């Protein structure tokens, strides 16, 4: 069978499964999830053996230590995966919720009911835990999922999927609700991206290169973020102790993630007081600073920032620093160089806080808190399938609700159009 | 200047205008809308003169009478356009609304605030009134709009846009918030569809051919419906008088629109009683029936339905009729042949009504009412920019709210991630 017809078969099977899954009740879905969690622990040896194959190939290819770490499945990793699935089982089921209902003058009752999207394609790299996380979120929200992981993790992903599918079967959920694409050919992705008849949404997760490839080749709607160039603006009225703690946390608590701060904007009226204190904190933990001219007058040890530093996503202990003359300049800088991901203002001024929240149209905008809170779990969504900087459908962290859409439901008693 | 660079300039100007428009207050936007309505009436002669040019070209090309009718701008058409804009001015402004707010255990207050999408591209055919309608809806929802109408209406569209832009300028709204593409080359559309950096959403409105062309060539998210193959299922428990009124209304009240019924499904237990009565009603108004074998046993004058009739969007006084053995068959038929647009059940049975609402995942599902209510005005959205059968972002009729997205806003008092 050609790759094209294999993909069509996979997608058709997913579509059929999605129609059944859309009408599975919550208890059935939760039981399947609990069996999935259980299955991962019970089949630890099989999964680790498959993972060992992947690791051997990866070592042969000379993958970096960091990549190998992300690829490795230990008992602890399996425990975390199983716990994550159990958490999803405990979350409320969004499907069938009626979010609003109103009455029209002619007596029609009009409402909106949440339904699954249908079939979701997830294209991701490296970490095999995404296989379990994404499958659990899609199942709970009533969506069939087609998973396409990185070629480095193919054996691990197939082994995990086998366990998840067995759990589905035991609970009467179609096992084709969760499918991993067995081939590692790139052609499979290209074929998948054409199947808009069967697949409702594509979520790519990984490096910017992968995401651009998907976005440029897809006929199916794609929800994505390319990168997170997150800013903190320290206003002239900021509590500088608070600003210090937040700016340190946002940069160094976990520098390799998309909601870490990459650019720091400092109001000129407090720059001379704040920057030396902050610079010291950063020096203590080896953060490299790249500053504008004003910054470097105050912190001569900062490297000069080049134009590309203002839009860089370092994902590392590097920070671009700019002194701005006012809030207008800060907002304009964010509009020009930002990635619509996450921005925070540190301020004691009421109207500045309101203006920043209103005028910065990034997906998450904070006052007096670390950018690191831009995350589904942290914001109380219970789980996260990804973060969107596409303004369509979902903007910001996406939980179960964002994996649904709403249909109009209408109760009449014989109404016709005049 | 090449078409490509023209399109880039247009889109860049729209992006800049959108940043300003996003922060215009409601009064400014409403004043601009009222000036726009006023301007259309005051400049009636100029607009009609431009329209006369289009009509002359169209006649030369031998356009059908129906097409010429849709293209013609009379004083009455202008009045309707102006009234439509005034209605939009009267609708609540969705921008800035905070739809929810919740508190996290660490004290963070997390909420969601509506913001404009940014820049919207509308690609449409024939009717120049779309120019005014779409511009008004985008302006009110804080979005800049790039309008690409049909080549037949180019002079009319440019004349209307000029009036709308002048009104914007008078009220301090950037006039590049509303732009009509001045070239009629198809290349302009292709270039526009690549500009995902500047345009957030494309809404195509017109025939299926246009919509497929846009969907297949766009790198920008597209919200669309290809067609409306709307079903009514007359259940065995239906009130047959009510069913008769609704089935007549749904087919004949305005057969050329997407929410008219195209397929009628009748439960076998009432087919012998219902079909002869209904067939008579349809014969009286010259509806051509195309039936399954069972239907033709009862209504021998019905033509035989071919396979393609079950998925046909006739947009005409033609109806496909099928006798089904039960609700399962009705729901399966809709899942197989439907277009996710609008379906209705006529029933007196409580659990059947609930099951139909739950299991039919079309964008609008009704009980005991005509499919013709699937419309933004009728459902109380106040206005309509289109109807979506894409499950992403908006599903069903789209009003002002569907032209916005929601960002997360977060109030903290110094929180950092542990």
Give the CATH number of the domain where residue B132 resides. Answer: 3.40.605.10
Q: Same structural domain for residues A12 and A140?
A: yes
Q: Assign B200 a pLDDT band (cuts: 50, 70, 90).
A: very high
Answer yes or no: do B373 and A19 touch at CB < 8 A.
Answer: no
Answer yes or no: do A369 and B407 touch at CB < 8 A.
Answer: no
Answer yes or no: do A365 and B407 touch at CB < 8 A.
Answer: yes
Residue B358: closest C-alpha in chain A: A96
- pLDDT of B65 reads 87
Q: Same structural domain for residues B234 and B364?
A: yes
Domain that includes residue B168, residue range: 3-224+395-410
Nearest CB partner across the interface for A408, out of B23, B379, B412: B379
- pLDDT of B328 reads 97
Has residue B416 been placed in a domain? no
Across the range B131-156, mean pLDDT stands at: 96
Q: In this model, does residue A199 exceed pLDDT 80?
A: yes
Q: Same structural domain for residues A53 and A199?
A: yes
Answer yes or no: do A415 and B219 touch at CB < 8 A.
Answer: no
Q: Same structural domain for residues B39 and B163?
A: yes
Task: Convert the pLDDT of each residue in A276-330 to its tens digit.
Answer: 999 999 999 999 999 999 999 999 999 999 999 999 999 999 999 999 999 999 9
Q: Assign B118 a pLDDT band (cuts: 50, 70, 90).
A: very high
Q: Which residues of A touch B396 (CB under 8 A)?
A: 406-408
Q: Which residues of A touch B353 (CB under 8 A)?
A: 411
Check: CB of residue A243 under 8 Å from CB of residue A346.
yes
Q: Assign A383 a pLDDT band (cuts: 50, 70, 90).
A: confident
Which of A249-253, A383-387, B267-271 is predicted least confidently?
A383-387
Has residue A292 been placed in a domain? yes
Asked if the C-beta of A356 comes within 8 angstroms of chain B's C-beta atoms, the answer is no
Task: Convert the pLDDT of each residue in B79-117 to its tens digit.
Answer: 999 999 999 999 999 999 999 999 999 999 999 999 999
Q: Same structural domain for residues B181 and B234?
A: no
The whole-angstrom separation of Cα B117 and Cα A393 is: 10
Has residue A115 been placed in a domain? yes
- Number of structural domains, chain A? 2
Element (H, E) at A178: strand A178-180
The whole-angstrom separation of Cα B70 and Cα A156 is: 60
**Most A CBs within 10 Å: which of B21, B194, B259, B417, as the mutation test of the A interface?**
B417
- pLDDT of B389 reads 95
Has residue B52 been placed in a domain? yes
Task: Convert the pLDDT of each residue in A32-54 to its tens digit.
Answer: 999 999 999 999 999 999 999 99
Q: Same structural domain for residues B167 and B240?
A: no
Q: Which residues of A touch B392 (CB under 8 A)?
A: 117, 200-201, 221, 223, 392-393, 405
Nearest CB partner across the interface for A219, out of B216, B361, B412: B216
Q: Assign B24 a pLDDT band (cuts: 50, 70, 90).
A: very high
Has residue A386 been placed in a domain? no
Q: Same structural domain for residues A22 and A166?
A: yes
**Buried residues in B355-366 as b, exposed as e (16+ CB within 10 A):** bbbbbbbbbbbb
The whole-angstrom separation of Cα B184 and Cα B157 is: 12
Has residue B381 been placed in a domain? no
| B286: alpha, beta or left? (left if phi > 0; alpha if psi -120 to 50) | left
The whole-angstrom separation of Cα A282 and Cα A303 is: 14
Q: Same structural domain for residues B287 and B206?
A: no
Answer yes or no: do A412 and B373 touch at CB < 8 A.
Answer: yes
Q: Same structural domain for residues B297 and B361?
A: yes
Has residue B341 been placed in a domain? yes
Longest dimension (CA), chain B: 78
Sequence-distant contacts of A303-311: CB under 8 A, at least 24 apart: A310/A263, A310/A336, A310/A337, A311/A229, A311/A337, A311/A339
Q: Same structural domain for residues A238 and A220?
A: no
Nearest CB partner across the interface for A361, out of B108, B407, B416: B407
Nearest CB partner across the interface for B108, out of A245, A246, A369: A369
Check: CB of residue A362 under 8 Å from CB of residue A335.
no
Has residue A336 been placed in a domain? yes
Q: Assign B319 a pLDDT band (cuts: 50, 70, 90).
A: very high
Q: Same structural domain for residues A199 and A308?
A: no
Task: Convert the pLDDT of each residue in A122-170 to its tens digit.
Answer: 999 868 999 999 999 999 999 999 999 999 999 999 999 999 999 999 9
Q: In this model, does residue B202 exceed pLDDT 90?
A: yes
- pLDDT of B63 reads 86
Across the range B247-264, mean pLDDT stands at: 96
Q: Same structural domain for residues A351 and A402?
A: no
- Using CB atoms and an 8 Å cut-off, which of residues 122-161 of chain A contact chain B? none
Answer yes or no: do B117 and A391 touch at CB < 8 A.
Answer: yes
Nearest CB partner across the interface for B416, out of A23, A223, A370: A370
DSSP letters for A138-158:
HHHTT-EEEEE--GGGHHHHH
């Amino acid at each position: 069978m050609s790759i094209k017809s294999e993909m069509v078969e996979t997608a058709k099977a997913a579509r059929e499964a999605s129609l059944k899954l859309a009408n599975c009740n919550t208890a059935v879905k939760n039981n399947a999830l609990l069996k999935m969690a259980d299955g991962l622990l019970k089949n630890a040896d099989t999964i680790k053996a498959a993972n060992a194959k992947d690791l051997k190939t990866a070592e042969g290819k000379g993958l970096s230590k960091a990549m190998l770490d992300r690829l490795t499945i230990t008992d602890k990793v399996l425990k975390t995966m199983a716990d994550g699935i159990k958490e999803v089982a405990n979350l409320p089921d969004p499907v069938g919720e009626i979010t609003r209902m109103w009455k029209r003058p002619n007596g029609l009752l009009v409402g909106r009911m949440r339904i699954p999207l249908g079939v979701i394609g997830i294209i991701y790299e490296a970490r095999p835990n995404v296989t379990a996380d994404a499958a659990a979120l899609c199942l709970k929200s009533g969506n069939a999922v087609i998973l396409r992981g990185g070629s480095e993790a193919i054996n691990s992903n197939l082994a995990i999927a086998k366990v998840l599918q067995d759990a589905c079967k035991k609970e009467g959920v179609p096992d084709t609700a969760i499918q991993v694409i067995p081939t590692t050919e790139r052609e499979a992705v290209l074929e998948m991206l054409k199947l808009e008849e069967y697949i409702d949404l594509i979520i790519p997760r990984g490096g910017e290169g992968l995401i651009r490839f998907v976005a440029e080749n897809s006929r199916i709607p794609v929800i994505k973020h390319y990168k997170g160039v997150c800013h903190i603006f320290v206003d002239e009225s900021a509590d500088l102790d608070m600003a210090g703690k937040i700016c340190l946390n946002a940069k160094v608590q976990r520098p390799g993630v998309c909601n870490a701060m990459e650019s720091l904007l400092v109001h000129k009226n407090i720059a001379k007081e704040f920057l030396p204190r902050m610079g010291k904190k950063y020096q203590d933990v080896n953060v490299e600073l790249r500053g504008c001219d004003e910054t470097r007058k105050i912190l001569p040890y900062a490297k000069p920032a080049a134009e590309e530093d203002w839009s860089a996503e370092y994902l590392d202990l590097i920070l671009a620093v700019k002194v701005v003359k006012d809030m207008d300049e800060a907002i304009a800088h964010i509009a020009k160089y930002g990635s619509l991901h996450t921005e925070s203002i540190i301020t004691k001024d009421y109207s500045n806080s309101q203006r920043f929240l209103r005028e910065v149209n990034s997906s998450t905008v904070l006052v007096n808190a670390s950018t690191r809170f831009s995350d589904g779990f942290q914001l109380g969504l219970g789980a996260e399938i990804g973060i969107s900087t596409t303004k369509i459908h979902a903007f910001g962290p996406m939980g179960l609700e964002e994996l649904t859409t709403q249909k109009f439901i209408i109760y009449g008693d014989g109404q016709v159009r005049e």
